[in-house]
Structure formats: C-alpha cells, structure tokens
Amino acid sequence: QKEVEQNSGPLSVPEGAIASLNCTYSDRGSQSFFWYRQYSGKSPELIMSIYSNGDKEDGRFTAQLNKASQYVSLLIRDSQPSDSATYLCAVSGSFKTIFGAGTRLFVKA
Amino acid sequence: EAGVTQFPSHSVIEKGQTVTLRCDPISGHDNLYWYRRVMGKEIKFLLHFVKESKQDESGMPNNRFLAERTGGTYSTLKVQPAELEDSGVYFCASSPGGALNTEAFFGQGTRLTVV
C-alpha cells in the first residue's frame, strides 16, 4: 500500500464547475496535510494546508480533512482554465513529508 | 527574501559520470529535503537534513547517492557513477525548524538527464 494515494486522473471539468480532488494516507500519526499545485515544468507551490479535522476555506479552494477515515480532499469552486495543473497531496509526520503521485486536472473553457 | 535556489537547472551527463547538484535553502530554515521525480512517477522523498545532520535518509536509492550539508547551510547531492535510471527532476525544499511540520518551499528543481 502506498503511503499517500491519489487518483492520477486526468480529471476533466468544464469551466465554472467544482473540481474535487481526493487523497488517502496510511500513517495514522500524520499531523499536517498540504495541497500543492504543479504546472508543467515548474516546481510545486503550496496552495492549502490543513492540520485539524473539518473544512478550511481560502478563496475558491476548500480543503477537507477526516483523520478517522485518513482522507483529505481539495475542492476548487468556479474552476478556471488556469487551474489546469497537477495537484499533489502531501502528508507530514515524524518530520518527513510524503507526496502522492498527483492528480492531473483539466479545466475546459 | 530569496527562495530556495538550485543549481544547475539542467544537467546532461553520460552514464558513468559524476554529477553534483546544489541546493541553497531559504536563509534560517533548519529543515532541508531532497526529492526526486522520475518521469511518470510520483515525487519521491530522498532524505531530510535538520541543520547539518541527516534526520532521515531512508529514501536514498543506493550508495551511488551522497548528500551533504556542511555547516547547515547549502546542501549538495552527488551521484557517482550516474546510471540511466537516475534521470529525473531533483527538487530541494526547505522549511523552518519546529515541532509542528510546516509547509515546505520548493526550489525550481534540477532536471538531470543521463544518456
């Protein structure tokens, strides 16, 4: 079992729709959870961090964490073509951050 | 404030040669990470420094890879001798010290091609 699992996609949504990205992790001791966005040929950039159960909203982005289910998700509302990228889920515990393989998102104009 | 910088941005070397990658973390960041992304695969953890000490090197693929962080500032990752499967993008990231894991800031990566 991979430590952090994501659906590789591609996930295709029309402009203006909600994109839902999901991630599961295996280490129950994980404490911090991050979503990074990576455009092709660029380095990952942090877009959301979440540390406790529940929802965290920042603009069009909402991160959701459920530690009991070992599940974290990212919702992107009013998706734009510029949101097209690979989204990486990252989980930290024991001072080490593990990344998922990433989900490719395409937002069609 | 300068971000994480990596050098070189690209490197093409022949199988059997040696390559050294450099990472300069954000000033004052105790934590420094090396990751690698091979084409089509996920970003893989290689190792983690806390200041000059190796906290975790469980992701290093084999003894052809040597990472150092003398003085707790910049870090180097040497591959000797390089093999074809070492090709990929090597990312460095840094984060401040502290008990709670904080976000890591990434460099632009070094694209290594072994031919």
Asked if the Cβ–Cβ distance from A95 to B101 is below 8 Å, we say: yes
User: According to the model, what pLDDT value does residue A99 have?
Assistant: 84
Residue A91 or A19, more confident: A19
User: According to the model, what pLDDT value does residue B1 have?
Assistant: 60
Q: Which residues pair with A89 in a beta bridge?
A: A35
Contacts with B102 from chain A: Cβ below 8 Å: 32
pLDDT tens, A48-71?
999 999 999 999 999 999 999 999
| Phi, psi dihedrals of residue B69, rounded to the nearest 5° | -145, 70
Collect all residues with Cβ–Cβ distance below 8 Å to B6 and sequence separation of at least 6: B21, B22, B23, B24, B90, B91, B92, B107, B108, B109, B110
Q: How confident is the model at residue A40 (pLDDT cuts 50, 70, 90)?
A: confident
Residue to substitute from B41, B103, B108, B110, interface A, most A β-carbons within 10 A: B103
Q: Enumerate residue ranges in chain B where pLDDT < 70.
A: 1, 98-102
Q: How confident is the model at residue A94 (pLDDT cuts 50, 70, 90)?
A: low
Helix (H, G, I), strand (E, B) or coil at A56: strand
